[in-house]
Amino acid sequence: MAQSLSSVFLHIVFSTKDRFPFLGDVAVQSKVHSYLAGIARERGCPPVLVGGVADHVHLLVQMGRTVSQAELVKELKRSSTVWVRQQFPELAKFSWQAGYGVFSVSVSNLESVRAYIARQEGHHARVGFQEEFRSFLKKHRLEFDERFVWD
């Protein structure tokens, strides 16, 4: 085959360090989400949607063929941390948690994951981040040690 084609969608989730609500201001949150979308786009991973709440983000992206999951997440977190600290001096201590979750999404589930990300505010009025993240790990059959998931 002369042409290389790929259709891989990922749901990426990571929180702020210690789940501190750095993104509590809706205007800041919106700008951070837009910035993350731009980073993904620059890395050849077109974003479907970026959303989240005060203490974590969700990104639904179509993975590019030339970047690894780890490289993408590393750049999302690194670049956005530098940018947030420069743009918002009051957030000088801003940082993301060390870890992250990446979950595969089938084309047939894209709309349901997009809708899930879009309704994060309402969802987190009932469910905390840790409970949500545990449910992703269980749903995707990932074994984990509770001692090392949170930081």
Mean pLDDT of 69-84: 98
pLDDT at 150 over 80: no
pLDDT of residue 134: 87
Residues 109-131: what's their mean pLDDT?
90
Cα 139 to Cα 55, 73, 133, 135, distances in angstroms: 22, 21, 10, 6
- Point out the least confidently predicted range of 15-19, 49-53, 76-80, 119-123: 119-123
Does position 37 have pLDDT exceeding 70, yes or no? yes
pLDDT at 1 over 70: no
What is the identity of the amino acid at 74? K
Provide mean pLDDT across the span 23-28: 96
Report how far apart, in Å, the C-alpha atoms of 108 and of each of 39, 85, 104, 138 are.
26, 38, 12, 20
Average pLDDT over all residues of the chain: 93
What's the predicted TM-score (pTM) here?
0.92
Per-residue model confidence (pLDDT) at position 10: 98
**Residue 149 scores a pLDDT above 80:** no
Tell me the C-alpha distance between 141 and 24, whole Å. 31
Q: At what angle do helices 26-42 and 69-87 cross, to 10 degrees?
A: 140
72 with 40: CB under 8 angstroms? yes
